[in-house]
Amino acid sequence: MKDTTPPPVLAAPGILEVEHHGVEPIPDHERTATPFDLFRLIFGGANTFVTVILGSVPILLGLSFVDALWVTVAGVLLGSLIVAPMALFGPVSGSNNAVSSSGHFGAHGRIIGSCLALLVAVAFYSISVWTSGDVIIGAAHEFFDVPSSPWALGAVYSVLAVLMLVVCIYGFRFMLWVNKVAIIGATAMFLAGIFAFWDKFDFGYSGAFGINGVASVDPAFWAAAIGAGLVVMSNPVSFATFLGDWTRYIPKETSRSKLMVSVILANLATLLPFIFGLATTSIIASSAQPFFEAGDYVGGLLNVSPIWYCIPISILAIIGGMSTGTGLLYGTGLDFASIVPRLSRIQSTILIGVSSLAFIFFGKFVLNVVQSISTFAILIVTCTAPWMVIMIIGFVKRKGWYDQDALQVFNRRLKGGIYWFNDGWNWRAVAVWAVSAVAGLLFVNVPGQFVGWLSPIVAGIDISIPVAAGLACLLYLTVLKTFPEPYEVFGPMNGPSSSQKPMSSTESNATPTSDTLLQQKASQ
């Protein structure tokens, strides 16, 4: 008699159960995350002082509060619309976005996405730790006379970094719980700022260009407005390489529109820390303090804050730094483990965490690159924009179809597969990305830090990201039309060629059977 007993229902791991999954596809029974969880991870990761610092930029560049507000809203909205489709890869591939990029850049070309993710993570992780640590020590010094010294800063940096590392070692579900707490806590602290600064805030703050500067014909105004808008836009765009780290835990059948709406709403919610940065920076500027001229937002904020707000500021620095840092460190550790398969996700996370802490100390106390790291982040985001455009166009062209096994060829140290292209590189995507990224860098304009060679021809207006993204879109569509990709990559309707089944690195002259591939995977 046939056994009709239903299979046991496997429970998903608990919050404090250490995650052991790497970039291999997440089992269906563990895909219990929802679009709302994605919202919390994005909003929690950006509801921090790092976003506040970015929010201070429009005022620092001389815009009035009203103009800065319009620029900020436009930058956040545009950036969220651009990055939203990057949430679609994880549920389909069951892996992170760097692995998914194998489908367009090739089994080896996916290294581009991994390198971009690593550089973005190191930059924003460092900014997060530095900012949070400086705020905590600054508040303690300003209001409780705690000595501000390199030793004190180093101690706070270390504690924050270790806490972030512990969360990342536990993995996705513990990180999700931390972000749930961070959203509530950080939002409450920002809202408390309304009472702290209400009597000092001037909605009519005019800035360097005067009220209603949007009507100005001064080229410097437009350079400041567009430059500020791109800095704001870089915040949502910076999530492009990391969204797959979280959406791989969302069921494949989840509505794509719900995923994209979650990304858009989460980024729109970050207007809270952005506007906090705008308002408080205008207060600092109105007070004619040297902090504003020096671009020292943290020092200026502490100087204008009432004494009772020191505790909320410190809490905000801790929980905000935790939510930002854990998301970045988790994704980088996960991806690095796929590049170096001999390392587990946990080992890779520890290695990246320790290395990042070393960079934080060296960069702060030896090289003094705290100001330069923001410029570096802008350069990396400029290079990420064309990579993101290529991925989105590719997703549309493939109608969201990917072969999960073929995406894992690089991680499993195999050869071949439908994404092998030319020795593991899809020259179409790689060439378009390289040309577009270089073109974008030529138009970067960060005065005193990095000015691209072609920036002067557009009156110093930073159009780096629009150039990089727009050129990538134009070139990639042209290349795909002129040099069509192999029909196998478009899905089972065309049927993959048997000659392109994955081959092991030691058997490159023979096509292994399915059984052979299973044995190879098991042995690894």
Residue 23 inside a domain? The answer is no
Residue 200 has pLDDT above 50, yes or no: yes
**Picking from 120-124, 162-166, 467-471, which range would have the lowest pLDDT averaged per residue?**
120-124
Type and span of the H or E element at 503: strand 503-504
Per cent of the chain over pLDDT 90 is: 40
List the Cα angle 504/509/511 in 5-degree steps. Answer: 60
Instruction: State the pLDDT confidence band at 226, using cuts at 50, 70 and 90.
Output: confident
Provide the 8-state DSSP code for 496.
-
Instruction: State the pLDDT confidence band at 495, using cuts at 50, 70 and 90.
Output: very low
Condensed to tens digits (0 to 9), the pLDDT of residues 359-399 reads 888 888 887 776 677 788 888 889 999 999 999 999 999 99
**Residue at token pair 């509505």:** 255
**pLDDT score at 315:** 85
Nearest Cα to Cα of residue 185 among 195, 197, 177: 177
Condensed to tens digits (0 to 9), the pLDDT of residues 86-131 reads 999 999 999 999 999 999 999 999 999 999 988 888 888 888 888 8
Higher-pLDDT residue of 184, 145: 184
**pTM of the model as a whole:** 0.85
Contact 126, 373 (CB under 8 A): yes
**pLDDT score at 496:** 44
Instruction: State the pLDDT confidence band at 21, using cuts at 50, 70 and 90.
Output: confident
Higher-pLDDT residue of 7, 443: 443
Environment class of residue 361 by beta-carbon count within 10 Å: exposed (0-12), middle (13-18) or buried (19+)? Answer: middle
Residue 15 inside a domain? The answer is no
**pLDDT score at 268:** 97
Indicate the Cα dihedral angle 510, 111, 440, 297, nearest 10°. 170
Average pLDDT for residues 334-363, to the nearest whole number? 86
Domain count, the chain: 1
Contact 305, 313 (CB under 8 A): yes
Residue 27 inside a domain? The answer is no
Residue 302 inside a domain? The answer is yes
Higher-pLDDT residue of 16, 459: 459
Mean model confidence pLDDT for the chain: 84
Instruction: State the pLDDT confidence band at 216, using cuts at 50, 70 and 90.
Output: low
Question: How many alpha carbons lie under 13 Å from residue 499 in its C-beta half-sphere?
Answer: 2
Instruction: Please give the residue range of the domain that contains residue 481.
Output: 33-523
Average pLDDT for residues 185-197, to the nearest whole number? 91
Residue 516 has pLDDT above 50, yes or no: no
Higher-pLDDT residue of 375, 244: 244
Terminal-residue alpha carbon distance, the chain? 39
Residue 286 inside a domain? The answer is yes
Condensed to tens digits (0 to 9), the pLDDT of residues 391-431 reads 999 999 999 999 999 999 988 888 889 999 999 999 999 99
Q: Please give the Cα distance from 518 to 504 (Å, whole number).
A: 11
CA distances from 283 to 48, 203, 301, 459 (A): 19, 10, 9, 30
**pLDDT score at 234:** 87
List the CATH number of the domain containing 254: 1.10.4160.10
Residue 11 has pLDDT above 80, yes or no: no
Take residue 322 and report the two structure tokens written for it: 């935790």
DSSP, collapsed to helix, strand or coil, labels residue 344 as coil
Residue 503 has pLDDT above 70, yes or no: no
Residue 16 inside a domain? The answer is no
**pLDDT score at 519:** 41
Contact 309, 109 (CB under 8 A): no
Residue type, 61: L
Take residue 122 and report the two structure tokens written for it: 């190191």
Q: Please give the Cα distance from 67 to 462 (Å, whole number).
A: 18
Residue 25 inside a domain? The answer is no
Q: Please give the Cα distance from 291 to 377 (Å, whole number).
A: 23
